Amino acid sequence: MPAGDVYKVSIQASGQGSIYMNVLALQQIGAVDLVAADFQTVCDGWKDIWRPSQSTGITWRSWRAIQVFGPNVDYTVRPCERVGGKAFEANLSGTLVGSDAGEALPPQCALVVTHGSGLIGRTHRGRAYIFGFTEAVQAAGVFTGAVITTVTTAYTTWFNKYKDSGTDPKIKAGIWSERTAFGCKWVGNPPVHQVIEGPNADQAFTPLTSFNIRPNVNTQRRRALGVGR
């Protein structure tokens, strides 16, 4: 795997009768091939940002990394499909259960982190919806200053390691655009996935350069493949 290969990494947790997932885009920047232990470190670090502020009813479970760009990944065999690529997966390690014993907010409620890449447009920015916070860390739909400070401090450490020109020698985090990679989008009513331009997977990843943790309690939104990101 040469430098430049990109993986989409899904990190799963459970609680409140729900399955939660965060998705990260990671790019290999070093000459040494990535192995499962590299993804494990990134994912355990991501989990550790949020777990201390989450309800004890939330348990982090596992991660899976799917290669979405590299010389062994092809977007031209069939329209709107990806062929090839490597995959890694494992259970998360360390402390997996949340630490806040209070009653959890409803499953659809989230703390939102916005990601910037230095480029404008929906295909160059992203969001993470962080679940499982308790009623006690918000008032009237706004997270307390204490919890915002706690997660911002922890997130900054992770971000400085994996941002563009970060300290990690092997991996950088970014935004991955399926719309750009496939050259497809949902068209019509009912919508059908259609080719509107050629695939541009080599232009689909942009590295993280900034983040913002929003203070308002937001509702998690689902996106369809080819819409927005």
Residue 79 lies in a domain: yes
Q: How many domains is the chain partitioned into structurally?
A: 1
Residue 112 lies in a domain: yes
pLDDT at site 1: 53
Residue 123 lies in a domain: yes
Residue 180 lies in a domain: yes
pLDDT tens, 55-92? 999 999 999 999 999 999 999 999 999 999 999 999 99
pLDDT tens, 107-128? 999 999 999 998 888 888 999 9
pLDDT at site 226: 43
Residue 137 lies in a domain: yes
pLDDT at site 178: 93
Domain that holds residue 53: 6-219
pLDDT at site 221: 61
pLDDT at site 228: 43
pLDDT at site 227: 44
Distances (CA, A) of 121 to 84, 124, 197, 206, 229: 28, 6, 17, 11, 10
Residue 225 lies in a domain: no
The number of residues making up the chain comes to 229
Residue 191 lies in a domain: yes
Residue 10 lies in a domain: yes
For residue 98, pLDDT beyond 80? yes
pLDDT at site 123: 87
Instruction: Report the alpha-carbon distance of residue 173 to residue 97 in Å, rounded.
Output: 25
Any alpha helices (H) in 21-71, and if so which ranges? 36-50
pLDDT tens, 162-201? 999 999 999 999 999 999 999 998 888 888 888 989 999 9
Instruction: Report the alpha-carbon distance of residue 29 to residue 170 in Å, rounded.
Output: 5
Backbone angles phi, psi at 226, to 5 degrees: 90, 0
Helix, strand or coil, per DSSP, at residue 125: strand
Q: What percent of the chain has pLDDT over 90?
A: 80
For residue 11, give the nearest of 22, 2, 3, 27 by alpha carbon. Answer: 22
For residue 7, pLDDT beyond 90? yes
For residue 38, pLDDT beyond 70? yes
For residue 224, pLDDT beyond 90? no
What is this structure's pTM?
0.91
Distances (CA, A) of 118 to 25, 88, 123, 128, 210: 16, 30, 12, 17, 8
